[in-house]
Amino acid sequence: MDTLSYKTKSAKKEEVERNWYIVDGENQIVGRMCSQIATVLRGKHKPSYTPHVDTGDYVIVINADKVRFTGAKWDQKEYITFSGYPGGQKRRIAKEQLEKKPYAIVESAVRGMLPKTKLGRAMIKKLFVYTGSVHPHKAQKPETLEV
The total domain count for the chain is: 1
Q: HSE on the CB side for 135, CA within 13 Å?
A: 23
pLDDT band at 103 (very low <50, low <70, confident <90, very high): very high
3-class DSSP state for residue 81? strand
* pLDDT tens, position by position, 47-58: 999 999 999 999
CATH number, domain at 110?
Answer: 3.90.1180.10
Any domain includes 21: no
pLDDT on residue 7: 82
Any domain includes 7: no
Any domain includes 41: yes
Q: Is the model's pTM score more than 0.85?
A: yes
Question: For residue 1, is pLDDT > 60?
Answer: no
Measured from the Cβ of residue 65, the count of other Cβ atoms closer than 10 Å reads 18
Residue 91's H or E segment, with its range, is strand 89-93
Question: For residue 44, is pLDDT > 60?
Answer: yes
CA dihedral 27, 28, 29, 34 (to 10 degrees): -150
Question: For residue 2, is pLDDT > 90?
Answer: no
